[in-house]
Structure 1
Amino acid sequence: MLTAQGEAEFDIYLGKVRIDGKEFDIPVHVGEGVSEVLLGRQWLKNRRLVVDMPSGVLTLG
């Protein structure tokens, strides 16, 4: 995958997330040099993610 720091290889695992009582399988991207696990990156292609850190609210629509 092409990143801001050049090309990188990621391992992809299957994760499970429960939202509003519904369970979803999502890809979890992990790679050397990646400081955070990227949960559900593919979801961002067709859903809107809004993070309001001061209010502690995360919305995936």
Structure 2
Amino acid sequence: MKAKERMKTAQGETDFKIYAGVVQIDGQEFTVPVLAGEGIPEIIIGLQWLKTRRLVVDFPTGLLTLG
């Protein structure tokens, strides 16, 4: 785990703990940052990818696309 990092969210600024996570996409394995913070119920995985790739989440069909 890395030291805490202060970041902006829709709810204001908060401190996040940063962990390393491993995900598999199309058979490729990636190590990505995983952010967790108090008062934030969701874990944010791979946030840095959102700066360079398009993420589409379609909950009704259960489809997630990272392109």
Q: Classify the TM-score, shorter chain.
A: over 0.9
For normalisation by structure 1, the TM-score amounts to 0.93
Structure 1 unaligned regions, length at least 5:
none
Normalised to the residue count of structure 2, the TM-score between the two structures is 0.85
Deviation at 1:6, TM superposition (A): 2.0
Q: CA RMSD in A?
A: 0.8
Amino acid at match of 2:60: P
- Displacement of 1:4: 2.3
Structure 2 unaligned blocks of 5 or more:
1-6
What displacement does 1:54 show? Answer: 1.0
Structure richer in strand, relative to its length: 2
Question: What does the per-residue CA deviation read over 1:5-53, in whole Å, with 9 as the maximum and x for residues that have no partner?
Answer: 2210000000000111100010000010010100111110000000111
Identity %: 64
Partner residue in 2 for 1:26: 32
Aligned pair count reads 61
Partner of 2:4: none
Are residues 1:55 and 2:61 paired?
yes
